[in-house]
């Protein structure tokens, strides 16, 4: 699969100061000679600014780096790196996220920033963890990491304008929990992270944009439009590699997805569904038909 053109807005100019606070960046992580090794180093970083800078540097330099697809590493522990002050709680313990109050909008946008920070980490994990894939697989997921870093930066900038910074508020860890469940099988990872959890973002974004528009937060609406555009491509990458692996293993994609969802206790898919975005992201007519309720177009 050839990757989509790189988003020209995804890389900040050197020296520009992102707005999520915290100390100035320390020295870059120690140099590594492979793309996958550098991805693991970036995944370890706890400071959001350092992680974004490391991902964007790796994206710029990746053409010159060997992928090293054949090396299998044991999990070094301590993954993913995240701000030490971040408080993780069950979803039910989080504040209400109505966009019609300042506190609610801060909570909503902080939750979105946390999703994008986790998305950086899951893309980096997909690069380093799974050996033996084609080179295009690793470069696809590095592109995803760079675009997620861009999304995270946009949300942090907007949060700063609302007097809030990433890690000021608690968050939940549902996305990374599925990364942990699928750490032993790249096929399960492709099925249940991009094709399931990230695809839910395609469904949830338009209603969220409508509410933010009603609340008068036009900048948030613009940022979500960028995220939705790119996430269609990210889900498409997951779909491509899921089907590649099913073909390689002689599995029926539809039947095996249902088995993986049961085995790993994936959350059930509930409407409303953004069927057009899912179609553009590579879901088949048969898959979309299973989502439709009676009376849906």
Q: Specify the pLDDT at position 190.
A: 97
φ/ψ of 134, rounded to 5, equals: -60, 155
Is residue 94 situated within a structural domain? yes
Q: Span 28-39, mean pLDDT?
A: 73
Asked whether the predicted pLDDT for residue 23 surpasses 70, the reply is: no
Is residue 3 situated within a structural domain? no
Please state, rounded to an integer, the average pLDDT across all residues of the chain. Answer: 86
Is residue 9 situated within a structural domain? no
Q: Specify the pLDDT at position 293.
A: 55
Give the domain range for residue 48: 35-68+79-291
pLDDT category, 176, cuts 50, 70, 90?
confident
Radius of gyration of the chain (CA): 19
Nearest Cα to Cα of residue 152 among 270, 53, 240: 53
Is residue 73 situated within a structural domain? no
Q: Span 113-137, mean pLDDT?
A: 96
Task: Judge whether 235 and 202 are in contact, CB under 8 Å.
Answer: yes
Is residue 148 situated within a structural domain? yes
Is residue 26 situated within a structural domain? no
Q: What is the CATH number of the domain that holds 41?
A: 1.20.1260
Could you tell me the pTM of the whole model?
0.87
Q: Specify the pLDDT at position 1.
A: 38
Asked whether the predicted pLDDT for residue 151 surpasses 60, the reply is: yes
Q: Specify the pLDDT at position 294.
A: 39
Q: Specify the pLDDT at position 8.
A: 29
Other CB atoms within 10 A of residue 84 CB: 8
Is residue 10 situated within a structural domain? no
Task: Judge whether 110 and 166 are in contact, CB under 8 Å.
Answer: yes
126-154: b or e for each residue (b if 16 or more CB lie within 10 Å)?
bbbbbeebeebbbbbbbbbbbbbbbbbbb
* Pairwise CA distance, residues 288 & 103, whole Å: 37
Is residue 87 situated within a structural domain? yes
Q: Which residues contact 201 (CB under 8 A, 6 or more apart)?
A: 115, 227, 228, 231
- Count: domains in the chain: 1
Q: Specify the pLDDT at position 103.
A: 92
Give the helix ranges, DSSP H, for the chain.
35-44, 48-61, 102-129, 135-161, 174-181, 186-192, 199-214, 218-249, 253-263, 275-280, 285-291
Q: Specify the pLDDT at position 89.
A: 85
Nearest Cα to Cα of residue 44 among 33, 59, 28, 60: 28
Q: Specify the pLDDT at position 204.
A: 95
């Amino acid at each position: 699969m050839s990757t989509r053109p790189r988003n020209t807005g995804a890389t900040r100019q050197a020296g520009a100061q992102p707005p999520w606070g915290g100390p100035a960046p320390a020295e870059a992580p120690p140099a590594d000679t492979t793309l996958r090794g550098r991805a693991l180093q970036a995944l370890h970083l706890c400071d959001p600014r350092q992680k974004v800078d490391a991902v964007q540097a790796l994206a710029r330099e990746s053409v010159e780096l060997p992928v090293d697809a054949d090396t299998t590493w044991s999990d070094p522990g301590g993954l993913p790196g995240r701000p030490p002050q971040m408080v993780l709680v069950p979803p039910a313990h989080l504040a209400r996220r109505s966009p019609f109050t300042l506190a609610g909008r801060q909570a909503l946008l902080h939750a979105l920033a946390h999703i994008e920070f986790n998305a950086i980490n899951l893309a980096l994990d997909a690069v380093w963890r799974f050996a033996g894939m084609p080179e295009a697989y690793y470069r696809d997921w590095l592109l995803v990491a760079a675009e997620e870093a861009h999304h995270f930066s946009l949300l942090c900038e907007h949060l700063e304008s609302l007097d809030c910074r990433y890690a000021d508020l608690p968050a939940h860890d549902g996305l990374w929990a599925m990364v942990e469940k699928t750490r032993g099988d790249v096929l399960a990872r492709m099925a249940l992270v991009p094709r399931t959890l990230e695809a839910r973002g395609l469904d949830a974004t338009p209603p969220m944009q409508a509410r933010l528009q009603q609340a008068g937060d036009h900048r948030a609406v613009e940022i979500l439009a960028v995220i939705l555009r790119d996430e269609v491509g990210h889900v498409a990458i997951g779909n491509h590699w899921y089907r590649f692996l099913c073909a390689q293993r002689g599995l029926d994609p539809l039947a095996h997805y249902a088995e993986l969802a049961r085995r790993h206790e994936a959350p059930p898919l509930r409407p409303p569904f953004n069927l057009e975005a899912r179609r553009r992201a590579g879901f088949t007519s048969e898959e979309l038909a299973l989502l439709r309720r009676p009376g849906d177009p």
